[in-house]
Amino acid sequence: MENTIIEMQFAIDTFYFLVMGALVMWMAAGFSMLEAGLVRSKNTAEILTKNIGLFAIACTMYMVYGYDLMYGGGVMLEGIEVVAKDATYAAPSDFFFQVVFVATAMSIVSGAVAERMKLFSFFAFAIVFTGVIYPMEGAWTWNGESVFGLFVLGDLGFADFAGSGIVHMAGAAAALAGVIVLGARKGKYNKDGSSNAIPGANMPLATLGTFILWMGWFGFNGGSVLAMASKESANAVAMVFLNTNAAAAGGVIAALILVKLLWGKADLTMALNGALAGLVAITAGPDTPTALEATLIGAVGGILVVFSINMLDKTFKIDDPVGAISVHGVVGLWGLLAVPLTNSGVSFTGQLAGAGT
């Protein structure tokens, strides 16, 4: 009887992992629609090609080498089919769940460098990022390896539940580097330093993409509970879903109120980025806040993203067509720093150290 229960829990947790991974995979469609809606129509085909190409590259590179670098287990997933005696889910389901996170991080880069980076140059960087850079950061954080043999982040009180730093800040850092190297789009800035607005070609498409991402985020955060087959884990999943949704809503409301106060009218693009900012902000710790606290964490993210997008554009002349650096980088940092506010086992020092790596 006991063995039957264990096998049933194993099957349920494995199935849950796979379903949540499929939800996260759907975020690739969300990023594609969001980016296609926010760039000019002449660049739509290229941005969509980048998104489907990066997803395929991420899946391949993480399979060939990335997963082994991050967690061990062999190149080309050698031995991944072996089931450890104490395993609570099938190892291939873990790979599937992890690989869609890799693709998500790379998708962040795609939007920020839109309309400037050549297709195969982008693919070349995707190979390096998904096969080496992201897995190294993942090994230091989620796998608990020492950072260049110097220190272990977990010993410093670092925690990142589903990846505000590991996924979103990593993607944003790569995006920022790319934008600085590539420079601004032609016609974005005048000789006097003033900025010209370059509106997106299809706001309904961008809105659809945001809703797809919002839905996919339930898999992103909910799947990171890593289990579903017990009463405790089911309650944890439900709370994570609730907090994820609350934070996104808080981000939208805060962004809308702020732009109304600043500019006298609502702004759809800022509302969309407010939703994503709320989601990024809660990703580092969706398991410990109350629903109200999650809403406030998301609201702060929504406020930060409005100021950050405006400052990067007007002050620093950083041309980010979709606001990816602000949404995933600036708000990702806020998400990490917000965790100690609701989780006494996490330290600000550890979070800062994690953000820096």
pLDDT of residue 202: 97
197-227 confidence digits (pLDDT tens): 999 999 999 999 999 999 999 999 999 999 9
Helices assigned H by DSSP within the chain: 2-25, 27-38, 44-61, 67-71, 91-112, 119-128, 134-141, 170-182, 203-222, 231-263, 268-283, 291-314, 324, 331-342, 348-356
Which residues, 6+ apart, have CB-to-CB distance to 141 below 8 Å? 153, 158, 160, 165, 166, 354, 357
Q: What is the pLDDT of residues 249-299, one digit of tens each?
A: 999 999 999 999 999 999 999 999 999 999 999 999 999 999 999 999 999
Report whether 287 contacts 240 (CB < 8 A): yes
Domains in the chain: ranges and CATH: 2-144+156-223+232-356 (1.10.3430.10)
Give the chain's residues under pLDDT 70: 1-2, 79, 81-85
In this predicted structure, what is the pLDDT of residue 82? 58
CB 309 within 8 A of CB 270: yes
> Which pLDDT belongs to residue 88?
87
Phi-psi map region of 346: left, alpha, beta (phi>0 left; psi -120 to 50 alpha): beta
Question: pTM of the full predicted structure?
Answer: 0.97
